[in-house]
Amino acid sequence: MPQGKAREVWIEQCEAAQTIRARFGLESAFDYLVGEKLLNFAEAAANHVDFARELPGFVSQVRRIFTPEEIEAQLAAIERVQNDKTTDDF
């Protein structure tokens, strides 16, 4: 992978998340950026040094895009859904 490509990837994804947020709201942007792109990036970081090197920058940008309160609320909502699914299985 060309040097700097991993950085370009997360920068483009963060820009896309801001567009998604403006069009579709916080939940959609969070699901896209954190639930999909950041998790995939973290998985890639386990095997690719360029991604591992860029992961802290990506996480920092996520924290700039979403306030701590927004992150907490979105994670709590995900947890509630998971708990409901677990309860429904019994």
Q: What is the pLDDT along the chain (90 residues), one digit of tens a residue?
A: 566 899 999 999 999 999 999 999 999 999 999 999 999 999 999 999 999 999 999 999 999 999 999 999 999 998 998 888 777 766
Domain count, the chain: 1
CB-based contacts of 31-34 (< 8 A; 24+ apart in sequence): 33/62, 33/65, 34/62, 34/66, 34/71, 34/74
pLDDT at 56: 97
pTM: 0.86
What domain range is 19 assigned to?
A: 5-88
**Residues 63, 34 contacting (CB under 8 angstroms):** no
Cα–Cα–Cα angle for 70, 73, 79, rounded to 5 degrees: 140
pLDDT at 4: 85
**Residues 41, 12 contacting (CB under 8 angstroms):** no
